[in-house]
Amino acid sequence: MKKRYSAFAIAREAMRNHLGWERAWASPIPKAKYDAIIIGAGGHGLATAYYLGKNHGIRNVAILEKGWLGGGNTGRNTTIIRSNYLQDPSAAIYEKSRSLYETLSQDLNYNIMYSPRGVMMLAQTHHEVRGYQRTAYANALQGVKTEFISPRRVKELCPIMNIDGPRYPVLGALWQDRAGTARHDAVAWGYARACSDMGMDIIQQCEVTAIRREGGRVVGVDTTKGAIDCNKLGIVVAGHSGVLADMAGFRLPIESVALQALVSEPIKPCMDVVVMANTVHGYMSQSDKGEMVIGGGADGYNNYTQRGSFHHIEETVRALVETFPMIARLKMLRQWGGIVDMTGDRSPILSKTPVENVFINCGWGTGGFKAIPGSGWGFAELMATGHSPLTAEFGLERFREGRFVDESVAAGVAH
């Protein structure tokens, strides 16, 4: 059992030159066989392993990562957490996730820096006004606390905003006051520490090269660190889901694209809410270090790049400058991209697969970070018991049956 982090622990280690801190998680040699293997040590994969152990007592688990822990989309997103989705299955899993985020620091004994600062989604066309009012009514029925607020209230919550722009005036906003942000790296590190403490093996720099099957069921994987057997296999690899599915012998209805973001130089605090402007597809918040964190759209073509591109900086910033004139004077500090996998209905896949005891968690598109705890909770239940109410509507069979959970049509944007 690892020592608990606390104010007393900080004081104790300060007195002895910080020589007593333990490694947050172990770096073990892979065992020959595990009850379950999770491919992907990002937020969703680590959360799945954590809830397999915590909720279902399955602790003989390995989490395999081809790179470093949390080095994919988990460390490359803009950290927005919200649950005000229109469709009932979406609202259920995202609200479960948001509620778990509320107490995650205490549950993991690791400060994930959760900040329920509130998220507003601007209505800048009359079509959006009607759409967000509809969503607010749906959320009331779902038990998700949101409200549609006036332009005057928008200005009170975010004084730096220009609500009278000639092209994109602010006509109101969908406001969720218990939504917010968290520290993306800390979420992964906190789950990793808890998994390691339960005796699970987190194996980095371990790329899966083949998935072995016998009689239509999984028996193990081949990796750059040797063959490893397992009874159950969970694939949680975000933008590379199609590659792993191909190894297992089935295809996924997804496409991978780069989603880009950037941050400005740090400035004094000027914005304590998250603002999403879906008409122009830009969203912004201010980090604890003072940087303006800006997210934009996904590339219009399939790719696996993790770099940014000039045309997205131009499109995103050009649109946001009208609503936030002050950012025109800021310098860009850095820019990056993450690989996201998109389904046709812009909702995730959490499902059994044609290969027995192989499970897939993918298709979160541009909104995966906010779903990490709820995704892990539901996917762990699916892997352990074969069914989860949270994931029931997100199975692969919905594409064959035409039973879509279409958030792109419902919300105009799905992140």
**What percent of the chain shows pLDDT beyond 90?**
77
Average pLDDT over residues 211-223: 96
pLDDT of residue 310 exceeding 80, the answer is no
pLDDT of residue 337 exceeding 60, the answer is yes
Average pLDDT over residues 144-165: 95
Closest CA to 303 of 368, 239, 238: 239
pLDDT of residue 411: 47
Q: Where in the chain is the domain with CATH 3.30.9.10?
A: 119-179+256-343
Looking at residue 209, its amino acid is T
Q: Quick one: pLDDT band at residue 412, thresholds 50, 70, 90?
A: very low
Q: Report the Cα–Cα distance between both ends of the chain, in Å, rounded.
A: 38
pLDDT of residue 239: 87
pLDDT of residue 1 exceeding 90, the answer is no
pLDDT of residue 413 exceeding 60, the answer is no
Q: Where in the chain is the domain with CATH 3.50.50.60?
A: 30-83+85-110+184-253+345-411
Class in CATH terms, 30-83+85-110+184-253+345-411: alpha beta
Q: What is the mean pLDDT of the chain?
A: 92
Average pLDDT over residues 144-153: 97
Class in CATH terms, 119-179+256-343: alpha beta
pLDDT of residue 129: 95
pLDDT of residue 215 exceeding 80, the answer is yes
Which of 47-56, 75-84, 261-270, 314-323 has the least mean pLDDT? 314-323
pLDDT of residue 306 exceeding 80, the answer is no
pLDDT of residue 317: 86
Residue 244: partners with Cβ closer than 8 Å, 6 or more residues away: 39, 208, 211, 235, 237
pLDDT of residue 409: 54
267, 305, 340, 346 from 302: Cα distances, Å: 35, 9, 10, 15
Q: Quick one: pLDDT band at residue 80, thresholds 50, 70, 90?
A: very high
pLDDT of residue 142 exceeding 80, the answer is yes
